[in-house]
Amino acid sequence: MTPPYDQSGDGLSNAEIEQLTDTWREPPGLVGWLSAVDHKTIGLRFIVTAFTFFVLAGLLAAAMRVQLARPDNDVLGPDLYNQVFTIHGTTMMFLFAVPVVLGIGIYFVPLMVGARAIAFPRLLAFSYWMYLASGLFLYTMFGLNVGPDRGWFSYVPLAGPEYGVGKRADVWAQLVTFTETSGLGVAVCLVVTIFKLRAPGMSLNRMPLFVWAELVTAFMVIFSMPSVFLASGTLIMDRLVGTHFYNHAEGGDPLLWQHLFWFFAHPEVYIIFLPGNGLVSTIVSTFSGRPAFGYTALVLSLVSTGFIGFGVWVHHMFTTGLPQFGVSFFTAASLMIVVPTGLQVFCWVATLWSGHVRFATPMLYALGFFQVFVLGGLTGVMLASVPLDAQLHDTFFVVAHFHYVLIGGSLFPLLGGLVYWFPKVTGRMLDERLGRVVFWLFVVGFNVTFFPQHLLGLMGMPRRVYTYPAEMRWGTLNLLSSLGAAIMFVALSLYLWNIVRALRHGTPAPGNPWQASTLEWATTSPPPPYNFAPLPTVSNREPLWSASWPDQPIITGLATDRREVLVTRLMDADPDHRREFPAPSPWPFITAVAATGLYVGSIFTPWAVLWGAIPTTLGVLGWVWPRHGQRPSDLARALGGAGTEQRRS
């Protein structure tokens, strides 16, 4: 058990703490709100905005389940239904799942690696504003009857210039461009933070597993997003300026779209899954009271999943008539990727086996993860087979499969992770009893919703249908599924209510309520603007569990009157140099507004790219213009070496 973190002692005087607070805090007022660069502020914004979109997409899902609850129903006509399922999928994939897992990374990775800040804070702020703009853009367009209606995957020629009538498909394409820009920015921040800002002593093989997960995720974002950028860019070009990328009559190919899209979209689902994976490691370890079993195996599994994930995309195209020999490779790769994931499951079970399990709410969600995700993974094995996929592709079996793996693999750990980290972020505890009730409602509701859909798919019900005939007798299973959705709706509403209530009346949280081992628990709840007063160092994987934690050296000597951060080396996190990080700035916001204008305008005219580039460039210039503290003389001082070390107690 670690003693509560004492801010006043350990090498920093009260006056220095005060100055540190003053240096790192967010400026007040509207301009301050627009200028925020603190990773905790922005991370929280990502998470809250993502959950807002989750609620909106959930309401769309509820509308779909109401429509499908009975055969030949007329609650939603075909046009509206097509928009609803498209926007449900697009929101969940682009506006909820990826931003939320990156958001928890933004908030917790710098804390877990013992850093003061995230790398490139203004890029991070810009990424948030682009993300917010993209969501506002999509829903505004939906309200104006210009909501995309061609599916979240937007196949051509249906979404192409001839059959994608109006501007709906352009809205989809630009939404994707927006979210790519945002995602790439965040990924860069995460990678550089993890590589260069770790606490001294935190060599790569001492990093928490959650940090490893976010690292692999960030790399996957960097390598996959350009493909969808290319896809959405060429789609806009085909639609706006008449290129022929996807026009078979003039030398293009509709199948090119599928390759470009799925080359991105399959890694995308691993981008969504891996941080959940990291959360499971964290929760299972904490609530078993022992380090995760098989650290090296778990890390190698994460990395190999990241690599193999780029080699399976054709399993979304098994029915397009591609040559048998080629697609068999993708069967093999899709089966191969089960091995690292299976290994991880075995390691977690081994952790539980040899630990002392505490059944707090986060642990319940981790157990729910096992029940749901493993089932989804097994149906994935079925879908990896080409002949079986030929029957199951584009049916409700696939809908069931991906909801099991995405909700099981990402949402369950996320909901558990939020309960786990809620005390750290807010300083209050969620209601434990209500938390358990919510968990059971949710896991039962989820299974009742999606398990019947496996059977519906086997018995002939295709996807993306706004209704079905009564004589197919799919009504009973559909009604059951819709009832399950109602239970999920209740569960999630109670979950949100638990949060709202705890924010006002929750019991104050102790420093480390779960007796966890990672560095974010070594500071106050919520963390101060500067994260850690003297910066910590580590000498093993579970710093707060080690007996030598009270004697662990700390870093002193960093300036308190400016935003100075310690930069360390990649492999073993040896201190390298000090660097001054930028102060809050409104320029990322201004640039994001200009870029939004460029992206939205380019739906209507290609000239927007030219005219929009001017304010965007001005924004970027304002952003990077050197200020006091960034001139050569300052840099020379920064290269003067790392801070001195002192004993902790």
Partner 1 sequence: MTTARWLPVWLLLVASVACERETRRYRELPASASRPGAIAISELEPGGRTPRTPVLSPYQENAYGIAEGKRLYSAYNCNGCHAQGGGGIGPALMDEKWLYGSEPDQIYSSIAQGRPNGMPAFGSRVPAQQLWQLVAYVQALSVQVPRDAAPSRSDDLNGHAAEAQLDIKVPRMTGHR
Partner 2 sequence: MMPVDYQSALHPAGPQAASIAQLWWFMLAVCVVVYGLVMATLVAAVFRAHAVRQAQAERSLTRTVTTATALTTVALFGILVASVRTGRAVGPPDGPVDPLGVEVTGYQWWWDVEYQSPSPPNTVRTANELHVPVGRPVRILLAATDVIHSLWIPNLHGKMDLIPGRRTELWLQADTPGVYRGQCAEFCGLQHAHMALTVVVESPAAFEQWYAAQKQPARPSSTTQTQHGEQLVTRGPCALCHSVRGTDAGGRPGPDLTHLQSRRTLAAGTLPNARQPLEIWITDPQHVKPGVKMPPVGLSTEERAAVVAYLETLR
Instruction: Using the structure block, give the residue that is written with the tokens 């990678």.
Output: 191
Tokens of 268: 């995308």
Q: Which does 624 bind (CB under 5 to 8 A by kind): partner 2, partner 1, none?
A: none
Residue 519 engages partner 1 in binding (rule: CB under 8 A): no
Whole-number minimum distance, CB 167 to partner 1, in Å?
Answer: 6
Residue 248 engages partner 1 in binding (rule: CB under 8 A): yes
By CB under 8 A, name the one of 250, 551, 561, 574 that touches partner 1.
250
Q: Which does 388 bind (CB under 5 to 8 A by kind): partner 2, partner 1, none?
A: partner 2
Whole-number minimum distance, CB 322 to partner 1, in Å?
Answer: 21
Residue 168 engages partner 1 in binding (rule: CB under 8 A): yes
Of 153-161, 195-203, 352-360, 575-583, which segment contacts partner 1 by CB under 8 A? 153-161
Q: Which does 145 bind (CB under 5 to 8 A by kind): partner 1, partner 2, none?
A: partner 1
Residue 181 engages partner 1 in binding (rule: CB under 8 A): no
Pick the closer one to partner 2 by CB: 12 or 392.
392
Distance between terminal CA atoms of the chain?
Answer: 16
Pick the closer one to partner 1 by CB: 41 or 482.
41
Query: How many residues interact with partner 1 (rule CB under 8 A)?
Result: 37
Closest listed residue to residue 349, CA positions, set 402, 284, 400: 284
Q: Sketch the per residue contact string, 113 through 132, with partner 1: x for CB under 8 A, - otherwise.
A: -------------------x
Q: Which does 167 bind (CB under 5 to 8 A by kind): partner 2, partner 1, none?
A: partner 1
Residue 145 engages partner 1 in binding (rule: CB under 8 A): yes
Residue 179 engages partner 1 in binding (rule: CB under 8 A): no
By CB under 8 A, name the one of 35, 177, 234, 247 that touches partner 1.
247
Residue 52 engages partner 1 in binding (rule: CB under 8 A): yes
Pick the closer one to partner 1 by CB: 65 or 168.
168
Q: What is residue 497's three-state secondary structure?
A: helix
Residue 99 near residue 50 (C-beta atoms within 8 A): yes
Closest listed residue to residue 226, CA positions, set 181, 186, 274, 273: 181
Q: What is residue 303's three-state secondary structure?
A: helix
Q: How far is CA 205 from CA 539, 551, 555, in A?
A: 11, 21, 21
By CB under 8 A, name the one of 31, 48, 349, 472 that touches partner 1.
48
Residue 167 engages partner 1 in binding (rule: CB under 8 A): yes
Instruction: Using the structure block, give the residue that is written with the tokens 């710098």.
Output: 110
Residue 638 near residue 579 (C-beta atoms within 8 A): yes
- Secondary structure of 359-397 as H, E, C letters: CCHHHHHHHHHHHHHHHHHHHHHHHCCHHHHHHHCCEHH
Other Cβ atoms closer than 10 A to 104: 27
Q: Which of residues 7-46 bind partner 1 (CB under 8 A)?
A: 45
Cα radius of gyration (the chain)? 25
* Cα–chain center distance at 27: 27
Of 98-106, 180-188, 237-245, 548-556, which segment contacts partner 1 by CB under 8 A? 237-245
Q: How far is CA 331 from CA 315, 318, 335, 341, 512, in A?
A: 7, 9, 6, 16, 46
Closest listed residue to residue 524, CA positions, set 27, 21, 161: 21
Residue 72 engages partner 1 in binding (rule: CB under 8 A): no
Residues 6+ apart with CB under 8 A from 536: 114, 199, 519, 522, 543, 552, 554, 555
Residues 6+ apart with CB under 8 A from 15: none
Pick the closer one to partner 2 by CB: 467 or 540.
467
Closest listed residue to residue 231, CA positions, set 203, 211, 261, 264: 261
Whole-number minimum distance, CB 144 to partner 1, in Å?
Answer: 5
Whole-number minimum distance, CB 319 to partner 2, in Å?
Answer: 5
CA distance 307 to 305: 5
CA distance 460 to 292: 43
Q: Sketch the per residue contact string, 195 through 234, with partner 1: x for CB under 8 A, - otherwise.
A: ----------------------------------------
Whole-number minimum distance, CB 552 to partner 2, in Å?
Answer: 23
By CB under 8 A, name the one of 18, 22, 72, 79 that touches partner 1.
79
- Secondary structure of 254-298 as H, E, C letters: HHHHHHHHHHHHHHHHHHHHHHHHHHHHHHHHHHHCCCCCCHHHH
CA distance 535 to 519: 10
By CB under 8 A, name the one of 2, 71, 153, 244 that touches partner 1.
244
CA distance 323 to 320: 9
CA distance 256 to 238: 13
Q: Which does 529 bind (CB under 5 to 8 A by kind): partner 1, partner 2, none?
A: none
Whole-number minimum distance, CB 246 to partner 1, in Å?
Answer: 8
Whole-number minimum distance, CB 127 to partner 1, in Å?
Answer: 15
Q: Which does 382 bind (CB under 5 to 8 A by kind): partner 1, partner 2, none?
A: partner 2
Q: Which does 52 bind (CB under 5 to 8 A by kind): partner 1, partner 2, none?
A: partner 1
Residue 136 engages partner 1 in binding (rule: CB under 8 A): yes
Residues that bind partner 1 (CB under 8 A): 45, 48-49, 51-52, 56, 79, 132, 136, 139-140, 143-146, 157, 160-163, 165-168, 238-242, 244, 246-250, 604-605
